[in-house]
Structure 1
């Protein structure tokens, strides 16, 4: 898609009891901090936001069960690799090679330039869904559920820690021991282009990673 404009996107939210009584403007400005309050007010006044299919004013109070939609006008998504080589496939499971720079799921400025949407575009005859995530800056094997059985069983295996992810990375000079354990909590943190990323944060979910140094170099290998 390059620098061409995409087709725009319709974002949908369902109102629950926690936000009943909030105005439409309060809801968007508090929930989606990537845009300031004035910008959200302009979008509402321009008719880009609707409640149950009808445009409203910024002070409209929300009720439980209502559906909010925000139409984002077409924009140029960041230019990233979109090729998804298929490394393995059977009736239940596919494995693809995810390139660096391509997010798995939509978020922020990335909607069509994501694995999820490219699967629909490049393989429209298939019903494929990523069973796990790889970070935007990470390349590697990504497993996709093709059948209901494949999605259910592989999801169970990830949930029960029967599947492991092994990463290889280059880092700068460090004093890490040859083998180490990391128990840093992982959670969402704001990130402009993507909306959020998962990273080390005190209020995240518990996580355990095991690391092993494969080789050391006095230089920064591959960073020349």
Structure 2
């Protein structure tokens, strides 16, 4: 097609100008070929990035079929900050009306060394490959024993339980897991039982203990 276009143009201009036009058109065609090559390379990079990010979803479907949207703040680079990932958060008020499968949003963040925990939705985004420790503690009242799950992008990491008591009762768990960068981690209510969490004593925290490849 390019050669046909060049032929048609050259047959309709004076012979004295053909050399100049030929040089200009060759230059234009060369630039077009370079742009096409650059676009192919960009398409390849975009496809690679999409493939890498498809395993880091930004929403979750709970067992009650309610969608929880995740709005993540920018994660700091641990190398640039000089700090290893660590976070701690708790409830700022008593939590009630907790749906089955609903994430427990610990909305009062007191520590976040790499800006990786989002207090608006309770989700920690792993900033670097490594082995992490997570701990969550819940305080319920006499009517609200609760079964919970530490969830991740790729499935459950562990389970916790608070039993019924005559007054208040603590419960949770400590989990150690090897995770990859971009993985989301959060605590959710696992079943229909339990509908109260006390604010000051219900916490969620985690930290890196070893970086991996």
Which protein is richer in helix relative to its size? 2
Relative to the length of structure 2, the TM-score reads: 0.21
Which protein is richer in strand relative to its size? 2
Structure whose alpha-carbon radius of gyration is higher: 2
